[in-house]
Amino acid sequence: MRPLHNNISQHILSPLDCHSKHLSLNEMTLNELKPGHTAVILKIHGHGAFRKRVIEMGFTRGRKITTVLNAPLHDPVKYTLMGYEVSLRRAEAQLIEVLPIENDFEFDDISHLNTTEENVSVVNDFNGKTHTINIALIGNPNCGKTSLFNIASGAMEHVGNYSGVTVDSKTGHFDHNGYRFNIVDLPGTYSLSAYSPEELYVRRYLKNQRPDVIVNVVDASNLERNLYLTTELIDMNRPMVIALNMYDELQKSGATLDYENLGQMIGVPVVPTVSKTGFGIDRLFDTIIDIYENRHKTVRHVHVNLGTDIENALLGLREIIRSEPSIEEHFAPRYIAIKLLEHDSECEELIKSSPVYDRLIAVRNKEEEKLKLLHHDDVSSLIANEKYGFIAGALAETMTPSEKSAVSSTRIIDAFVTSPLFGFPIFFIIMFFIFWATFTVGAYPMEWIERLVEILSGLVNHHMPDGPLKDLLANGVIGGVGGVIVFLPNILILYFFISFMEDSGYMARAAFIMDRVMHKLGLHGKSFIPLVMGFGCNVPAIMASRAIESRSSRIITILINPFMSCSARLPVYVLLTGTFFGAKATIVLMSMYILGIVAAFITSRLLRRFFFKKDETPFVMELPPYRLPTMKASLRHMWSKGKQYLQKMGGIILVASIIVWALNYFPLHDEMSSVPENKEQLTDNHIDTSRDSYLEMMGKAINPVFTPLGFTWRPTVALIAGIPAKEIVVSTLGVLYTGDEDIDNQALSSRLTKPSSVTGKPDFTSASALAFMVFVLLYCPCIATLTAIVKETGHWGYGAFSAIYNTAFAWVVAFIVYRIAILF
């Protein structure tokens, strides 16, 4: 299908239109239209009486409207349409979306025109613009929103079977039946209260962006819980369709649902879908078009009956809200009234500046006292009970439960993986297998890539004339980038397994069994998922911490996350463990990850003890059913991460490698310069300006700080270069350990064991290699991670703390490890 925006462009640039003025393609709201300017009405936002009234007065799509003048205080504004004049307040005009046109262009109202008219080009322009539908995907965590988003928009966002994968909104596009859909995938949320960051984010999006149609994605296998959010969206009175997702699981369970009858009962069309296969997607978007064009017969506004007493309490509040148009500008009066009864802080803030605020609060308090006396319970519980009663009644009328045995595969698997006896052993066996596969299985393709890099380096060395260009290509580009790209298979394998655990639902179980351990650290199980995600990349893991309700627990989780050994550090481990530890490489590799976890736990205890007061939050987390991930989904996630890794190769790592090469190559010295015969008197920190490069002089100047850790100047330079991105550590080593003709065609691991031309000893030993890995694991996070810390905590001080504390902690631990290692 040809994208709609291409069609618009063709009409605008066609010869038919070149002689005249055209429609402007800059949408705006009516209050932004300057006096004397004309526009065409696109959409009417808002709710209830306002929307109904202005439509009755002729404010319909395709109608031409002109701004006449502003009142003396610039509010209200006078407009003309259909030959008469009307005034609107700016707050009301802001709810009307328009498309400006040039004043000297003849344009008739085209509400009822078709493409056989003379101005076919203009009609196409207008229809092309108005046939853009903005939709928002809203649903509970694990309901398949992101899967639906991916299959509709063609995006490759990660899908995980646990709460907190979508921690921010994602946007995409989809063309269907001549319409362009702008799709926004919002964070998963259980309700629209002001309890969690996700709930606030979704509600503020609905308040500020006003999507044309809401797609409420519900899990067909867990309808009673999922439909609670649906009742809140019904209270909002927004155009909506329900995507009955994972419909295949409902069918497999043996249950039946009369979804058409359910839609009639609640006034919202219901469309069964299966996101992973694409079933029902076309029908879903056809339904969205019908809702957008106001022609779907099922759509009607239904009040979720909350019982006589609560309904009576809402009446007085709704009347007051309707008397003040500025309040119902964003949400329906009924929704605001319900939230006021629930003491919703965000809703109270919304009405605080209103002149009827005090009156509303007084009436709310009075009605609340009445309800407490009648029912001896808080209002929030009463409302929730009534809504779940409404849901139970609707499902009783439309759903026939399965007659199959209630014992499910999920329950059987959980009997083992979450049991006190087997839970932890299974977890550690899984983690050990992942690290073993990452190192052992990844070694084969790693050797192939390594061989290709050696061949390429050999071709450059033997076929190019000596000079700076040859040295740059052989030692800078191939030595630097090639030294990192060989670890791509290890990265891909690690991400594949992490993706598989997330998609299967096991990650939520890992959080469940780790809750008691996390609790002893002053955190809870929800903190575990961002920490495990940190094994892939610390940046999205830190963003995933938004799912933690407690601010102090969230900040602690963010600050300890950099200790989780991300995939960028993996090349360093694979290089050094393979070079110095042989058959014990897997154990050493896994010990690095365990050490990172221990460091995180120690830091968490220190932060909770000295910086944050005790703040225990209840561990409430959904344990979704196990689902066998599709190979396509796991491979797609694996490749998306691999592609990011490759992009780094051609970006920051290439640039860093060239900079390191230049500093190591210059200044050029007389070839007669030689090392003094008495090497014994030389130390690795001795600066010789007659033979040292700029980089060597810099490294030797800094190296005394790292000498107690067993590092020479080359490893020290690699650590400093790795601050922007940890992958640069290996690329820097690749650049620094080149230049000797007898080892040019050898792998980097072989070069590390060669004796230094200055000291006669190799720069790395088993002890210093172990200390080096420990320091890389624990020291200053990369720039992207520091940026994420500052953004998510809202204060630069936390980023500075992470950089300073982590580096000091790394030095102390690496020193201890080195001193213990040299004893053995």
Return d(Cα 392, Cα 399) in angstroms, integer. 10
- pLDDT tens-digit series, residues 691-722: 666 777 777 788 888 889 888 888 888 888 77
| Omega of the bond leading into 239 within 30 degrees of 0 (cis) | no
Q: Are 538 and 568 in contact (CB under 8 A)?
A: no
Highest mean pLDDT among 136-145, 210-219, 301-310, 686-695: 210-219
Choice between 406 and 221, residue whose per-residue pLDDT is larger: 221
User: How would you list the strands of the sheet with 179-185, edge to edge?
Assistant: 170-176, 179-185, 132-139, 213-219, 240-245, 270-272
How far is 244 from 229, CA to CA, in rounded Å? Answer: 13
* Least confident span in 168-172, 373-377, 717-721: 168-172
pLDDT for 217: 93
Q: Output the pLDDT for position 660.
A: 67
Listed residue (273, 248, 324) closest to 49, CA to CA: 324
- Across 76-85, average pLDDT: 79
Q: Which of 66-70, 279-283, 620-624 has the highest mean pLDDT?
A: 279-283
Beta strands at 256-257 and 64-70: parallel, antiparallel or unpaired: unpaired
Per-residue confidence (pLDDT) for residue 578, from 0 to 100: 83
> Percentage of the chain with pLDDT > 90?
9
Flag whether pLDDT at 181 surpasses 60: yes
Q: Is the pTM of this model over 0.85?
A: no
429, with CB counted inside 10 A (0-12, 13-18, 19+), is exposed
Is residue 41 within 8 Å of 96, Cβ to Cβ? yes
pLDDT exceeds cutoff 80 at 612:
no
Using a pLDDT cut of 70, give the percent of the chain over it: 76
The closest alpha carbon to 240, from 193, 192, 277, belongs to 192
* β-pairing verdict for 179-185 and 132-139: parallel
* Structure token digits, residue 727: 């992958």
Q: Does the pLDDT value for residue 598 go beyond 80?
A: yes
| Short-list 815, 776, 783, 812, CA closest to 799 | 783
- The torsion region of residue 271 among left (phi > 0), alpha (psi -120 to 50) and beta comes to beta
Structure tokens at 536: 């892939």
**Alpha-carbon gap, residue 147 to 158, rounded angstroms:** 8
- Helix orientation angle between 423-436 and 506-513, rounded to the nearest 10 degrees: 130
Residue 282 has pLDDT above 80, yes or no: yes
Whether 239 contacts 214, CB under 8 Å:
yes
Q: Which residue has the tokens 């000079």?
A: 467
- Indicate if the pLDDT at residue 689 is higher than 90: no
- Greater confidence, 117 or 503? 503
Q: What is the pLDDT of residue 747?
A: 62
- pLDDT confidence tier of residue 623, bands split at 50, 70 and 90: low
Q: Are 712 and 554 in contact (CB under 8 A)?
A: no
pLDDT digits (tens, 9 = 90+) for 487-539: 678 778 877 887 787 777 777 777 777 776 777 776 766 677 778 777 777 77
What per-residue confidence (pLDDT) applies to 403? 65
- Kindly state the helix (H) or strand (E) to which residue 136 belongs, with its residue range: strand 132-139
Residue 357 burial (CB count, 10 A): 16
More confident: 812 or 718 = 812
What is the b/e burial string over 67-83, where b = at least 16 CB atoms within 10 angstroms of the residue's CB?
beeeeeeeebbebebee
Residue 670 — pLDDT band, cuts 50, 70, 90? low
Report DSSP letters for 683-752, one per residue. Answer: -TT---TTT--HHHHHHHHHGGGTGGGT--HHHHHHHHHTSS-TTHHHHHHHHHT---GGGTTS-HHHHH
Q: Are 136 and 205 in contact (CB under 8 A)?
A: yes
Number of neighbouring beta carbons within 10 Å of residue 355: 11
The bridge status of strand 240-245 relative to strand 213-219 is: parallel
Specify the residue for token string 């938004």.
546
Average pLDDT over residues 397-407: 70
Is the bond preceding 625 in cis, omega lying within 30 degrees of 0?
Answer: no
- Residues contacting 367, CB < 8 A, separation 6+: 313, 316, 317, 341
pLDDT value of position 804: 93
Considering only 194-198, 566-570, 752-756, which range has the smallest mean pLDDT? 194-198
Return the pLDDT at 435. 73
Distance CA 494, CA 550 (A): 31
Q: What is the pLDDT of residues 741-763, one digit of tens each?
A: 444 445 677 777 777 666 667 78
Span 305-316, average pLDDT: 86
H-helix or E-strand spanning residue 577: helix 570-580
pLDDT value of residue 589: 85
Give whichever of 263-277, 315-329, 563-577, 664-678 has the largest mean pLDDT.
263-277
- Tokens of residue 742, six digits: 């007898």
Q: How far apart are CA 495 and CA 637, in angstroms?
A: 8
Give the least confident one: 237-246, 580-589, 772-781: 580-589
d(CA 447, CA 455): 12
∠ Cα 322 328 332 (to 5°)? 95
Residue 473 to residue 400: CA distance in whole angstroms = 70
Is the pLDDT score of 807 beyond 90? yes
pLDDT given for residue 441 in this prediction = 81
531 burial type by CB count under 10 A (0-12 exposed, 13-18 middle, 19+ buried) = buried
Q: Considering only CA atoms, which of 773, 772, 797 is closest in space to residue 786?
A: 797
Residue type for 387, please? K
CA-to-CA distance for 85 and 348, rounded, in angstroms?
A: 37
Per DSSP, the three-state class of 8 is helix
